[in-house]
Structure 1
């Protein structure tokens, strides 16, 4: 019987080998030889302990990954053929093949039904793998509830409270950091692996980290929708508990850089949400921005909502207008006075409605929101990155200075008086 199965296994290996270049195969052969030598197997196989040590994955997800890589033989031996066959599917397969593999991977108990307990185990493994050493040492990474927000955004549509492949793809669209993590487990382990990157949060040393809304798991979540360069370093520009609930202070503090910003709000209901603004906050009498911006939820569930393409009502920043049709404040999506997310210029209230701009629901418990804490983080790009003020003809000065100049320009064309 064993001889009858060998040609099938070899054929799968031969077919899988064709997915890689000769150089790529040799690199994988060298990796296998190195790990097999550490496994004390006379170069024949890689043990699970060595496999785990190399790839750095923890918890039940690691067990399930090793089970799938070894073709579910449960013999604890990962052969070179196993490695090539798995990588050919997981890294070089069609999108459907890759998603099917990840679906099976998330079914950590291997019963064919992807349930809530499975996802909880996946999230526990993610937390133990990429967050602090203190978390890695805990018996259950979900004990403090940090990762429950991601579980809360999942949908289980099957009658047995299990997740279909369609449900999983939908969840991944709202939690791209999870999808990136699960799709890069067999990549060379380094800090640049997609889904493993946690932005460095830069804030003054005299600020207690406990007052910050943007915890590391939230930053990881938002960073999953950005480029690796944008997810490296974020600097605290404004915090209402430190600087006061002041729109002018907010604008003044964010004027030091023209890079993208992340606005985070916790309201009186305890809900946490916000938006990523790819463009600087500058005065406009209409929507502006580009399709890189998005809005998000962080608590009690975590979801990202990217532009749907239904309209271009992305970013809003109004200051000094007296017309009700041009509300003063900052916002994202929807339409004036019915935004996807909006904070008034007084920073004392705002609103959030479902909107087609991002295909997003109301981000809080109710449509009218009363802010408790407001934060704004600036994305720090490397020196030499785009700086709008360095462009020929760009208006110099702070955001507030530019608002004053805009106002003067409006007066020149008679628009200012028409809005009074």
Structure 2
């Protein structure tokens, strides 16, 4: 592939690629090319690697690999206008298979036709450090490398390279990894968009906490928020507000319910750490999104951001158990599975719980033992801009307009009291 020729205006690859764009889009690409070529100190005939990497915010091995792919791996350090059109037509306007194939080749940062854990590590470090610009915090117990390893542990490497020392990733392994990490796939599929254009997959929710709360006790990190955001819609990625933290508010179910009741939709993120005797996982998370504060209808579940459990991000709707009076149903909150056999359950006292393998989310038991002892619980609310005007807001009957309050009554067995 190193002998590939740069496409010309008469090259079938360029002719075919150009058809994917409108005339206006081609003119815009020409303007971009001319602008970057003028900075490349080569008589404005092509774009040099440093200018390309600087404009797209891709530095180091990931930027070098992207430049190689865009230039058909010619290794001549010259990116022509035709190269740019062909690459963007494939990478941004191609079929699903063509786009995934491009991203798959991009992950091979070493350029040896094999994707190893080392390749993925370089890519993830580049994402956090150079693209998302999430810096290490000296106050955190876990480093950036620890976070990167969590994402890497969600990947499988099912192939063996006879000439190498590491197992390698197949195309199917890659697809499975992207399924579990939608944030990674979104971002890797948008790197030929300029950084200031709102690249899909690049937005990190702003985590809002009280200034009185020590940031070091917060378990939700920006890296995790970015990962979770990959499964949510764009309007859910603005501000996330800390509604409840057991270290601040106490281990109280009533306080928890009081804090999360409000006039906004809720992203309920329960983060639990336990004694190593019961669970050798630093962070255990259950996520229910796209629901009201009182219904707790599960939209997604991320049971763990440690080890292989990052894989269990699934789209699924299932109600969670919240009960105060019944002797048949445990008093607390359960995610997935069934009564007394939830994928994750936390008692109403927030002092104990259990975890079992769960077909709802395809997740395993999250602990070495089924019993868990929570130490810290966090809940984050997603604030959203109201889409209804005041006139729409008052439509419907009183019971229809206050359905969230009725849901709360249902949970405590008083749903019919107002009828």
Matched, 1:232 2:244: no
Provide the rounded CA distance (Å) in 1 between the counterparts of 2:259 and 2:6: 68
Q: 1:82 corresponds to which residue?
A: 83
Provide the rounded CA distance (Å) in 1 between the counterparts of 2:207 and 2:270: 14
By how many angstroms is 1:64 displaced? 0.6
Matched, 1:361 2:364: yes
Task: Tell me how many residue pairs correspond in the alignment.
Answer: 398
Matched, 1:179 2:182: no
Q: 1:416 corresponds to which residue?
A: none
The answer as to whether partners of 1:265 and 1:372 remain within 8 angstroms in 2 is no
Secondary structure of the residue that 2:210 maps to in structure 1?
Answer: coil
Q: 1:418 corresponds to which residue?
A: none
Provide the rounded CA distance (Å) in 1 between the counterparts of 2:15 and 2:407: 66
Secondary structure of the residue that 1:265 maps to in structure 2?
Answer: strand
Matched, 1:289 2:300: no
Q: 1:315 corresponds to which residue?
A: 319
By how many angstroms is 1:83 displaced? 0.4
By how many angstroms is 1:232 displaced? 1.5
Deviations 1:246-300 (A, max 9, x none): 11110000002340223232221324222123222437xxxx736x433342124
Matched, 1:195 2:196: no
Q: What TM-score, normalized by structure 1, do the two folds share? A: 0.86
Structure 1 segment 26-37 matched on structure 2, within 5 A: 26-37=27-38
- Which of 289, 296, 300 is the equivalent residue of 1:277? 289
Provide the rounded CA distance (Å) in 2 between the counterparts of 1:257 and 1:280: 9
Structure 1 segment 110-149 matched on structure 2, within 5 A: 110-132=111-133, 134-135=135-136, 144-149=145-150
CA RMSD of aligned residues (A): 3.1
Provide the rounded CA distance (Å) in 2 between the counterparts of 1:370 and 1:7: 65
Q: Structure 1 residues 63, 147: closer, same or farther in 2, change over 3 A? A: same
Q: What TM-score, normalized by structure 2, do the two folds share? A: 0.86
Provide the rounded CA distance (Å) in 2 between the counterparts of 1:7 and 1:37: 20
Mind listing any 5+ residue stretches in structure 2 that lack a counterpart?
162-166
The answer as to whether partners of 1:262 and 1:378 remain within 8 angstroms in 2 is yes
Mind listing any 5+ residue stretches in structure 1 that lack a counterpart?
414-420
The answer as to whether partners of 1:39 and 1:45 remain within 8 angstroms in 2 is yes
Q: 1:338 corresponds to which residue?
A: 341
Secondary structure of the residue that 2:375 maps to in structure 1?
Answer: strand
